[in-house]
Amino acid sequence: MAQPTVNVAGYLANQKKTTNKELAAEWAALEDLYNEKLWNELTIKLNKFVHHASMQDEDALLQLYQNFLQTFEMKINPYGLVEIVEVIVEHITDKKEAIEFLTKIKDKVKICDEAVWYTQVLQGNIYLSSLNDLDACKKIIEELRDTLEDVGNVTPVHGKYYMLASQYYRRVGKHSDYYRCGLQFLGCSIDDYPKDQWAQQAFCLGLAALLGEGIYNIGELLAHPILAALKGTENEWLIELLKAFNTGDLKKFNDMKPTWSKIPDLLAHEIKLRQKISLLCLMEMTFKRSATQRSITFEDIAQETQLPLKEVELLIMKALALDLVKGEIDQVAGVVNMSWVLPRVLDRKQIAGMATTLDNWMTSINSMEKLMESRAAEILTN
């Protein structure tokens, strides 16, 4: 991309000769803003103009950059510059050349951290989608991860980064990382995410929640509005399956097997799924009990999880090792005394159960208070 001698006036004059009156007016408006040095207004205008139907061509966009934009690119907002450049690199046929182009832009916008991060994300997208260079994409994701986490606030780049990271992890089959980055992306950019893609994203996130290692807070996805996009589709059943996992409902899981087993990934990991829902079942059993009733017998656990009695202790030990629950096993009595369960995002039914537990707790406190009042004279006398 050698830079020719720049003649801005001549370039703009030639562009205004178009027979398209609407397009000619656009070029005239750009010329006026340029001559008046209204750089902010010019940036906004250019950001819209590069999406014009007449500009959806590699040569047209490169000519715009070389003969016009590059003459004042150091005077405009760096982040705005990268937004314009994003459209240009999308149309560059040689993607290695696009990477080099972005590298040069990155040097020019180094005074603005967000603009630099933006160019890196754009490079990552090219490495992933066009060049299939997973190592280069991974390097960018890892470089930006700590940087963006340490920023302290959500920037416009965060959503773009999490989309890149989620696409990468989906490609390499890392379900847990895909799930976490996918949710983080939605948390940053849900308003800008095309509605027609909600159902597909919800389906992929749902499968990742089920298959991902260490994903036990499924309520976080159930509470997200994107999941409603599955209603009325052929994948609506996934909502019910996620609810079954969230509450550790083994019966519902088994009843739905004819449906979920049609998904190859789920069928291939059936044993893993049963282990996961059994752990969630144990967590739910612990959560439902009051603090004074958390001595759970092995027989009760075996019945709820539909496991052989001899496998119950192994299930409890795994839950303890994963820090899903805390407690002590009494092998002689065949019980486990639970003292804590991992906090999770709760659905309405679980919240209602917690409210009932709190009501019972308050009733116990009031009863104790009345008992102490009635026995106060006796206590003070003694």
What pLDDT was estimated at residue 123?
Answer: 98
Predicted pLDDT of residue 2: 45
295-297 vs 335-341, strand pairing mode = antiparallel
pLDDT tens, position by position, 285-321: 999 887 778 899 999 999 999 999 999 999 999 999 9
Measured distance CA(220)–CA(183) in Å, rounded:
9
Closest CA to 201 of 221, 219, 177: 221
**Average confidence (pLDDT) over 24-29:** 96
Does 11 map to a domain?
no
Q: What is the pLDDT of residue 381?
A: 61
List the structure tokens of 285: 């059993």
Confidence of residue 382 (pLDDT cuts 50, 70, 90): low
At 363 the pLDDT is: 77
CB 335 within 8 A of CB 293: no
Q: What does the pLDDT look like over 171-209, one tens digit per residue? A: 999 999 999 999 999 989 888 889 999 999 999 999 999
Helix (H, G, I), strand (E, B) or coil at 335: strand
Inter-axis angle of helices 39-49 and 21-35, to 10 degrees?
150
- 38-51 pLDDT, tens digit per residue, is 999 999 999 999 99
Asked whether the predicted pLDDT for residue 19 surpasses 60, the reply is yes
**Count of Cβ atoms closer than 10 Å to residue 71 Cβ:** 15
Extended strands (E) in the chain: 295-297, 325-330, 335-341
Q: Is 182 part of a structural domain of the chain?
A: yes
- Asked if pLDDT for residue 364 goes beyond 80, the answer is no
Tell me the average pLDDT across 371-382: 67
Residue 69 lies in a domain: no
Mean pLDDT of the chain: 92
Question: DSSP letter at 145?
Answer: H
User: What secondary structure does DSSP assign to 193-224, as a single string?
Assistant: S-GGGHHHHHHHHHHHHHHSTT---THHHHTS
Cross-strand pairs, 337: 295, 328
Q: Are strands 325-330 and 295-297 parallel, antiparallel or unpaired?
A: unpaired
Residue 353: inside a domain = no
Average the pLDDT over each of 63-77, 143-157, 228-242, 337-351 and give the range with the smallest value.
337-351
- What are 246-294's pLDDT values in tens digits? 999 999 999 999 999 999 999 999 999 999 999 999 999 999 887 778 8
CB 180 within 8 A of CB 199: no
Q: Is residue 168 part of a domain?
A: yes
Q: What's the pLDDT tens digit per position in 117-165?
A: 999 999 999 999 999 999 999 999 999 999 999 998 999 999 999 999 9
State the sign of the Cα–Cα–Cα–Cα dihedral 182, 185, 187, 192: negative
| Residue 177 CB contacts under 8 Å (≥ 6 apart), including other chains | 165, 169
Q: Of 212, 216, 180, nearest to 319 (Cα)?
A: 216
Q: Is the pLDDT of residue 243 over 90?
A: yes
**Higher pLDDT among residues 5 and 171, named by residue:** 171
Per the rule left: phi > 0, alpha: psi between -120 and 50, beta: everything else, 343 is beta
pLDDT value of position 5: 63
Domain assignment present for 24: no
The answer to whether 193 and 183 are in contact (CB under 8 A) is no
Residue 374 CB partners (closer than 8 Å, separation 6+):
none
- Give the chain's domain count: 1
pLDDT value, residue 361: 67
The token pair that represents 251 in the structure block: 């019966």
For residue 101, give both structure tokens.
Answer: 């182009």
Choose the weakest-confidence range: 159-168, 214-223, 365-374: 365-374
> What would the two tokens of residue 377 be?
């004279």
At residue 147, the pLDDT reads 94
Q: Give domain status of residue 343, yes or no.
A: no
Domain holding 171, by residue range, is 98-106+116-148+156-186+201-209
Q: Is 349 domain-assigned?
A: no
| Residue 231: closest CA among 208, 251, 206, 249 | 206
Nearest C-alpha neighbor of 160 from the set 181, 146, 139: 181
